[in-house]
């Protein structure tokens, strides 16, 4: 398994390629750009808050920063979540906003060039389609690439945790 410290292929110019952390939600594979990933954590108990959407699981205290935790499986409608030893939280830090995202399992890091990424199909008219930035192709697999900015700036995540 590749880790976050994976070095890109020296033959691929870093200005033309981007690295993506891949993970699963249900039976599908997704990717997030490594640019805004702060850390990976195993899923742990969260402090629940009242009157939040069902996909906002609660908050965790991450070294003094109160971080909202959302379950991407629920938010994107990919099926009923099962919390097991593979369940992980991807902590995103985007524009001083920190959000934890629960996923089924973390897979690896892949490098994609612009030629490996296609725009999302226009037929995807679901609410989840608003969070898709493209479809990546790597090693005979398709990855649904998610837009970190749209996910972390979603208006229904009402908590605003700032980096200290």
For the entire predicted model, the pTM comes to 0.81
Widest Cα–Cα separation across the chain: 51
Instruction: Give the start-to-end residue ranges of the domains of the chain.
Output: 18-152
- Give the side-chain half-sphere CA count within 13 A for 125: 1
pLDDT (tens digit per residue) in 115-160: 999 998 776 556 667 889 999 998 889 999 999 888 877 555 544 4
For 18-152, the fitting CATH number among 1.20.1280.260, 3.40.190.290, 2.40.50.180, 3.40.50.150 is 2.40.50.180
pLDDT (tens digit per residue) in 55-99: 999 999 999 999 999 999 998 888 888 899 999 999 999 888 899
Whole-number Å distance between alpha carbons of 128 and 10? 35
Nearest in space to 18 (alpha carbons), one of 4, 3, 6, 35: 35
């Amino acid at each position: 398994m590749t880790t976050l410290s994976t070095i890109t292929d020296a033959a691929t110019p870093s200005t033309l390629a981007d690295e993506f952390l891949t993970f699963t939600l249900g039976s599908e594979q997704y990717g997030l750009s490594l640019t805004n990933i702060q850390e990976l954590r195993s899923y742990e108990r969260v402090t629940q808050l009242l009157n939040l959407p069902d996909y906002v699981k609660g908050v965790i205290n991450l070294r003094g920063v109160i971080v909202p935790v959302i379950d991407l499986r629920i938010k994107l409608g990919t099926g009923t979540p099962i919390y097991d030893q593979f369940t992980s939280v991807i902590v995103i830090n985007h524009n001083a906003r920190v959000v934890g995202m629960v996923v089924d399992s973390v897979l690896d890091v892949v490098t994609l060039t612009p030629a490996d990424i296609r725009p999302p199909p226009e037929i995807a008219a679901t609410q989840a389609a608003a969070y898709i930035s493209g479809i990546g192709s790597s090693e005979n697999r398709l990855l649904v690439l998610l837009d970190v900015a749209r996910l972390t700036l979603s208006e229904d995540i009402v908590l605003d945790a700032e980096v200290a």
